[in-house]
Amino acid sequence: MSERTNLMEGGKDEILLNVLHRAQEKHGYLSESVLKKISSKYSIPIAKLYGVVKFYTMFHTEPQGKNIIEICGSPSCVLNNGISLEQFLKSELKIKIGETTQDKLFSLYKTSCIGCCDEAPAMLLNRKPCTRLTIDSLKATIENLRKEAGEKKE
Amino acid sequence: MKLNLNGKEMEVEEGKTLLTICRENGIVVPTMCFQASLTPEARCRVCLVEMNGELVTACSTKPREGAAIITNSKRVLDARRLNMELMIPNRSCKSEDDFEACEIYKEVGMKPRFSQIKNYLPDLGAAVIRDNNKCINCGRCVRVCAEIQGVYAIDFASRAHNEHVTPYSEKHLSDVACIRCGQCILHCPVGAISERSHVEEVMAALADPNKHVVAQVAPSIRAALGELFGMPAGTLVTGKTVALLRKLGFNKVFDVDLGADMTIMEEASELLHRLENGGKIPMITTCCPGWILMMEFFYHDLIPYMSTCKSPHEMLGMLIKTYYAKKAKIDPKNIVVVSIMPCTAKKFESARPEMESGVDYVLTTRELGRMAKIMKADFASLPDEEFDPALGISTGAGVIFGATGGVMEAALRTAHFLATGKELEALEINEIRGMKGIKEGKIVLNGKEIRFACAHGGANARKLIEQKDKYHFIEMMACPGGCIGGGGQPIYRDPDTLRKRTEAIYSADRASKIRRSHENPVVQEIYKKLLGAPLSKKAERLLHTKYTKRSRF
Amino acid sequence: MQILRKTNLKALAKAHALGQEGVIALIERKGLEGRGGAAFPTGKKWRTCHDTQADERFVVCNADEGEPGTFKDKFIILNNPKTMIEGILIAAYAIGAKRCFIYLRGEYEFLRPKLQRQVKSMLKRAKTDVTIEIVRGAGAYICGESTALLQSLQGNRGTAMSKPPNPTRNGLWGKPTMINNVETLTCAAQAVLFDNWKPEVRLFSLSGNIQNPGVYEFPIGVKMSKVIKAANPKRKLKAVSFGCFGGIMPVDENMAITPETLMMEKCHHGAYSIIFADETNNVVDLSLSIAKFYTYESCGKCTPCREGTVRMLNLLRKIHSGEGSREDLPILCELANHIQETALCGLGQTCGNHVLTSILHFPQDYEAYFSKK
């Protein structure tokens, strides 16, 4: 591989992707200060680190909602009514893809394929698959999550 | 190894890329992302050729025995053209900075037919500005910043059609650890990165009758400015540069060489002082503002090793507003000092608060060229004129500041005299000349061996720092080749350009009547009338500075 | 199902008994081919990696299954993970690697905790000093491509790299690295142990407008009608798409599914994922969703893929919205062909298939949009 690739020998003991996942799980998102810490600890230039983080759709540099929904956009899901689910989520949560609700309860993303084509349409809710979705089941899921959050507040 | 290149059987050396083979055989293959000094990434897909019936990128493909290569089929030309059309949907070819893209644009016969999909806010820094809408994602800026400069200020972020070059967190270049060296500008084929222009401000000052506008010209300008007017690289245009500046309306034109001579007097004295009094050794030069920023960002523990001398144009700027103002009986408030520099980092340097700069504006070589074109000055037909004598007597020692190793060579010429009272036997110190990344040598001063080294290019500077304790004196230049390869210089494509400019610099030294800083009569007069001696209180106040620890982000 | 047969560390024991050369020769003899889509002979890959001089070698199990319509690796990780892990250990033994990775796509995070436990227990049971680390992907389809996967593993942006150097000779940190897909490694363990292991059996991922989606086993050459019968569509089927990159073609019940027959229809088997679309669909819509996928998942490194996929998508959107015309088709084809010819990696080289095949096989579906105008 190129010289540039091998400049960062530091990554050999610990795989950067795993480091980033752990940091994101701990802090909720990869803030500038978290990136600075990782940059210092592993001697990775911060511009490069930022470039790596931004390459992957599952890393976030902004605060995220309590629940992250990744709706699948694969052809199998599209053929099974996936697009109407996406539209339902957008209107129900009143956000666009890539946004977080004002109450910080939901962040909505679209993903290419989550490998649940056999149970389409599907989505990931906090990295766990929810499959054979219908608008009714989605509605119930969202309402449950809202209720849970409300109960916790009280 | 046998090959068939466009129907011609030939013997080539194994291990060469198709691009090398084609170019050696006089076959033009256009490239955008390729540059010989950088790791090939085969991103742009413009250097396509046909090898055994498949389209491959010439920059990254090494042919096998018996390969049949076609470089001019319709298929090849169509594919190249389409990639250019996709990369550059709209191209004006108005600015001189993107001539490389425009040459290829014409070469491949492009017809713009796709719409622009990029929509970025420009990054307007104080020294370097970027416009991602013009960017073609060739990554040359990213690679030069990382591989040659060792700065890593920018990288690609996001992916697919959203992939773009950016400092971390989409910040502006001026808010991150960018050393403002401007090498990214030199390496950009489409003019997406450029210097923050001060042409308008300078032209306003020139038009103001109450202002006494003074230009001071850095050594390396004279070895490069001609290129902007079609002259071959390495043409020395000292006299024409002076004439041009007068024509543009500057009241006085001074030579930064004199500032360089002052720097040498102070720096050589400082070195000797440190050697005699157990000061921090090695002493490291500070003429290069790119290197100073690199040190302030990444090497805080080096601060005590740095010379405290200001850079030559800052020294001369100070002297213009004190010594010259007094001599010419002009209120310093009405003097506007414009430095003509090969450098974008000088724009940052002159704006440093601790610098108490005498310099009001910095123009790069390219900006001066642009100004000449705005004012319709016919550079080639200008006469050769002399610098104004008040601060215009220059020495060969000052001129060679423009090339890597030059500051050190000039300093050693003077240090030897100051320490021993005798001149150095061999005036030209060949071991620190030339384009090798890190060069070293030694001389004997009063029975003591003094080891010195110099590095050019940030990545080489980083390497030299690792072994700094071997030396007494170190010269650092952020740009490859030193100032002659500075980020404010004319954009060049022929890799031999730097060597030719360097040669011009050394020929100017050889042609100088005075070749040692301490022999400069103006320098002697300034010490007599204003400063007393090197490192005096007054010299400290006017000609020395201090450094700041900056965040490495 | 053949893929569910357990090897219970007997395959590893047999490999040890055969010796490195013996096990590589056995894999070669069994005719195992890579199951990620490229169908490269696995034994040849192992041999090259083994024969390359180096002080360190690596094995990477590619579990970055991301091709839309493909879920067979998930099926294996859920149902026969231990045999897969044994396959990794056999590969490591065959080439002489001590450090192995499983690159698990981020979307399969829910599989990780259990897989982690199984790796631990397998390593313990096998009494080996080989390590297996699970690397967590983070949502980038391109990282299933071997050079991009290695970049990603090394902490870089997961962009594709030019070959050569081939990862088998010069991969992770410059060392020979063997990258095999989940199914390939599972098959490797089974091929080593079972005399009656059949190389022609493939896992088919069936999905789309069908009532029995799932993973099935069929031999290469299976009749389309048989596959459709298993899939059990509700309505009449119109088109099949082979994953995203394999192309779209009409349903032909009598066709035997082989690489050659598919090639005649300008299609590619890929990982044998078949997405069925029934007669209620317009194929342009299917093509549009595939174009979105490529526009989103291109790594952005090379010009044709970065700039071309988005232009193809824009043209398809224009057609889909009824604003398109027949004049758009030649430009679409020009772009698709151009990206295929000049892109840097496999993703780009296949990303135009759906456009080319849908225009070839379903011109009437495009016409339907043009006449809406």
pLDDT tens for C196-205 read 999 999 999 9
CB-based contact A45 B146, cutoff 8 Å: yes
Closest partner CB to B152 (pick from A32, A45, A61): A45
Instruction: Give residue-wise pLDDT tens across range C285-341.
Output: 999 999 999 999 999 999 999 999 999 999 999 999 999 999 999 999 999 999 999
The one catalytic residue in B270, B296, B314, B409 is B270
Instruction: Give residue-wise pLDDT tens across range C252-268.
Output: 999 999 999 999 999 99
CB-based contact A115 C70, cutoff 8 Å: yes
Q: What is the CATH number of the domain that holds A112?
A: 3.40.30.10
Contacts of B174 (CB under 8 A, 6+ apart): B125, B126, B127, B128
Contact residues, chain A, for C70 at CB < 8 Å: 113, 115, 117
CB-based contact B82 C334, cutoff 8 Å: yes
d(CA C109, CA C279): 36
Is B343 one of the annotated active-site residues of the chain?
no
What are the residue ranges of helices labelled H in B375-490?
396-399, 406-420, 458-466
Average pLDDT for A128-139: 96
Contacts of A24 (CB under 8 A, 6+ apart): A30, A59, A60
Q: Residue C208 in 3-state DSSP?
A: strand
Average pLDDT for B10-27: 94
Q: What's chain B's average pLDDT?
A: 93
Query: What is residue A140's predicted lDDT score, i.e. its pLDDT?
Result: 96
Identify residues of A whose CB sits under 8 angstroms from chain B CBs: 2-4, 7, 32, 35-36, 39, 45-51, 54-55, 61
The one catalytic residue in B47, B59, B479, B483 is B483
Cβ atoms B443, B436 nearer than 8 A: no
Q: Does B90 touch chain C (CB under 8 A)?
A: no
Instruction: Give residue-wise pLDDT tens across range B444-459.
Output: 988 899 999 999 999 9
Query: What is residue B99's predicted lDDT score, i.e. its pLDDT?
Result: 64
The label of the residue with tokens 């088998």 reads C168
Give the side-chain half-sphere CA count within 13 A for C113. Answer: 3
d(CA B325, CA B358): 11
Instruction: Give residue-wise pLDDT tens across range B214-266.
Output: 999 999 999 999 999 999 999 999 999 999 999 999 999 999 999 999 999 99
CA-nearest residue of chain B to A51? B157
* DSSP-assigned letter for residue B482: G
**Strand residues in B45-189 grouped as ranges (E):** 48-51, 54-57, 68-70, 123-124, 128-130, 155-157, 164-166
d(CA C180, CA C178): 6
> Based on C-alpha coordinates, what's the Rg of chain A?
18
Superfamily name with CATH number, domain C2-193: NADH-ubiquinone oxidoreductase 51kDa subunit (3.40.50.11540)
Q: Is C163 exposed, middle or buried (0-12, 13-18, 19+ CB in 10 A)?
A: middle
Query: What is residue A151's predicted lDDT score, i.e. its pLDDT?
Result: 82
Q: Give whole-number Cα distances, A110 to A72, B545, C107, C285, in Å.
A: 6, 55, 12, 18
What top-level class would CATH report for the domain C201-278? alpha beta
**Domain assignment present for A2:** no
Asked whether the predicted pLDDT for residue C245 surpasses 80, the reply is yes
**Domain assignment present for A1:** no
Average pLDDT for C178-206: 96
Compute the 3-state secondary structure of chain C and give helix, strand, coil in percent, each to the nearest 5. 50, 15, 35
Distance (Å) from the alpha carbon of C328 to chain B's nearest alpha carbon = 12
Between C371 and B161, the more confident residue is B161
> Based on C-alpha coordinates, what's the Rg of chain B?
24
Contact residues, chain A, for B39 at CB < 8 Å: 2-4
Asked whether the predicted pLDDT for residue B100 surpasses 90, the reply is no
Query: What is residue B277's predicted lDDT score, i.e. its pLDDT?
Result: 93
**Which of the other chains make 3 or more beta carbon contacts under 8 angstroms with chain B?**
A, C
* Structural domains for chain B: 2-87 (3.10.20.740), 123-195 (3.30.70.20), 199-543 (3.40.50.1780)
Closest by Cα among A24, A129, A141, A148 to A71? A129
**Domain assignment present for A131:** yes
A36 in the same domain as A80 = no
CB-based contact C140 A124, cutoff 8 Å: no
A78 in the same domain as A50 = no
Q: Give whole-number Cα distances, B85 to A116, B50, B108, B464, C224, in Å.
A: 39, 20, 10, 43, 42
Q: Please give the tally of structural domains in chain A.
A: 2
Contacts of B466 (CB under 8 A, 6+ apart): none
Amino acid at C336: A
Contact residues, chain B, for A43 at CB < 8 Å: none
Beginning with the edge strand found earlier in the chain, give each strand of the sheet holding B438-445 in spatial order.
B283-284, B473-477, B448-456, B438-445
Asked whether the predicted pLDDT for residue A7 surpasses 50, the reply is no
What top-level class would CATH report for the domain C283-372? mainly alpha
**Which of the other chains make 3 or more beta carbon contacts under 8 angstroms with chain C?**
A, B
d(CA B118, CA B160): 12
The residues in C 164-193 lying below 8 A from B, measured between CB atoms, are: 164
CA-nearest residue of chain C to A72? C68
Contact residues, chain A, for B130 at CB < 8 Å: none
Is B102 one of the annotated active-site residues of the chain?
no
Going from N- to C-terminal start, the domains of chain C cover 2-193, 201-278, 283-372
Q: Does B55 touch chain C (CB under 8 A)?
A: yes
CA-nearest residue of chain C to A22? C136
Bond from prior residue into C165 cis (ω within 30 degrees of 0): yes
Average pLDDT for B87-98: 69
A104 in the same domain as A47 = no
User: Dihedrals φ, ψ of A20, to 5°?
Assistant: -65, -40
| Cα–Cα–Cα angle for C99, C101, C105, rounded to 5 degrees | 170
Q: Give whole-number Cα distances, B251 to A104, B324, B328, B350, B390, in Å.
A: 64, 13, 12, 21, 12
Strand C99-104 versus strand B2-5 pairing type: unpaired
Query: What is residue A2's predicted lDDT score, i.e. its pLDDT?
Result: 35
Give the domain range for residue A114.
Answer: 67-153
d(CA C281, CA C286): 8
Is B227 one of the annotated active-site residues of the chain?
no
A141 in the same domain as A106 = yes
CB-based contact A61 B169, cutoff 8 Å: yes
Contacts of A30 (CB under 8 A, 6+ apart): A20, A23, A24, A53, A59, A60, A61
Q: Residue B50 in 3-state DSSP?
A: strand
Contacts of B393 (CB under 8 A, 6+ apart): B255, B258, B387, B514, B520, B521, B522
CA-nearest residue of chain A to B151? A45
Q: What's chain A's average pLDDT?
A: 91
CA dihedral over B411, B414, B419, B424, signed as positive or negative: positive
Q: Residue B140 in 3-state DSSP?
A: helix
Q: Which two tokens stand for residue C307?
A: 């700039």
- Say how many C-beta atoms besides its own lie within 10 A of residue C234's C-beta: 10
CB-based contact C303 B43, cutoff 8 Å: yes
Instruction: Give residue-wise pLDDT tens across range B329-340.
Output: 999 999 999 999
A73 in the same domain as A50 = no
CB-based contact C303 B60, cutoff 8 Å: no
Q: Is A33 exposed, middle or buried (0-12, 13-18, 19+ CB in 10 A)?
A: exposed
CB-based contact C296 B160, cutoff 8 Å: yes
The label of the residue with tokens 């002659």 reads B484
**Domain assignment present for A23:** yes
A139 in the same domain as A84 = yes
A109 in the same domain as A43 = no
Distance (Å) from the alpha carbon of A69 to chain B's nearest alpha carbon = 20
Is B354 one of the annotated active-site residues of the chain?
yes
Contact residues, chain B, for A48 at CB < 8 Å: 146, 152, 155
Query: What is residue B106's predicted lDDT score, i.e. its pLDDT?
Result: 72
Is B270 one of the annotated active-site residues of the chain?
yes
Asked whether the predicted pLDDT for residue B40 surpasses 60, the reply is yes
**Domain assignment present for A5:** no
d(CA C295, CA C299): 9
**Domain assignment present for A50:** yes
d(CA B190, CA B235): 26
CB-based contact A118 C293, cutoff 8 Å: no
CB-based contact A17 C155, cutoff 8 Å: yes
Asked whether the predicted pLDDT for residue A3 surpasses 50, the reply is no
**Domain assignment present for A37:** yes
Beginning with the edge strand found earlier in the chain, give each strand of the sheet holding B123-124 in spatial order.
B123-124, B128-130, B193-195
Q: Does B77 touch chain C (CB under 8 A)?
A: no
Cβ atoms C347, C297 nearer than 8 A: yes
Q: Which helix (H) or strand (E) holds B4?
A: strand B2-5
Band (pLDDT 50/70/90 cuts) for residue B95 is low
d(CA A125, CA A122): 10
CA dihedral over C271, C277, C283, C289, signed as positive or negative: negative
Distance (Å) from the alpha carbon of C338 to chain B's nearest alpha carbon = 7
The one catalytic residue in B50, B195, B267, B475 is B267
Band (pLDDT 50/70/90 cuts) for residue A48 is very high
| pTM of the predicted structure, to 2 decimals | 0.94
B238-242 long-range CB contacts below 8 Å, 24 or more apart? B238/B384, B238/B508, B239/B383, B239/B384, B239/B385, B239/B386, B240/B379, B240/B380, B240/B382, B240/B383, B240/B384, B240/B385, B241/B217, B241/B340, B242/B217, B242/B384, B242/B385, B242/B386, B242/B387
Q: Give whole-number Cα distances, C282 to A77, A124, B439, C159, in Å.
A: 15, 28, 69, 34
User: Dihedrals φ, ψ of C285, to 5°?
Assistant: -65, -40
Contact residues, chain B, for A55 at CB < 8 Å: 157-159
ipTM above 0.90, yes or no: yes
Band (pLDDT 50/70/90 cuts) for residue A13 is confident
Closest partner CB to B157 (pick from A2, A32, A54): A54
Amino acid at C158: G
- What proportion of chain B, given as a percentage, has pLDDT over 70? 97
Strand C99-104 versus strand B68-70 pairing type: unpaired
Cβ atoms C92, C100 nearer than 8 A: yes
The residues in C 51-90 lying below 8 A from A, measured between CB atoms, are: 65-71, 73-74
- What proportion of chain C, given as a percentage, has pLDDT over 70? 100
d(CA B108, CA B95): 20
Asked whether the predicted pLDDT for residue B493 surpasses 50, the reply is yes
Strand B473-477 versus strand B448-456 pairing type: parallel
A77 in the same domain as A22 = no
CB-based contact A50 B159, cutoff 8 Å: no
Distance (Å) from the alpha carbon of C347 to chain A's nearest alpha carbon = 14
Q: Which two tokens stand for residue B83?
A: 């990639």
Give B235-282 as a 3 state SS string: CCCHHHHHHHHHHHCCCEEEEHHHHHHHHHHHHHHHHHHHHHHCCCCC
The label of the residue with tokens 């297996």 reads C132
Query: What is residue C327's predicted lDDT score, i.e. its pLDDT?
Result: 93
A144 in the same domain as A88 = yes
**Domain assignment present for A60:** no
Q: Which helix (H) or strand (E) holds C278?
A: strand C273-278
- What proportion of chain C, given as a percentage, has pLDDT over 90? 97
Asked whether the predicted pLDDT for residue B489 surpasses 70, the reply is yes
Query: What is residue A10's predicted lDDT score, i.e. its pLDDT?
Result: 47
The one catalytic residue in B240, B310, B321, B346 is B346
Band (pLDDT 50/70/90 cuts) for residue A11 is low
A144 in the same domain as A78 = yes
Closest by Cα among B390, B360, B314, B348 to B213? B360
Contacts of B326 (CB under 8 A, 6+ apart): none
Cβ atoms B418, B439 nearer than 8 A: no
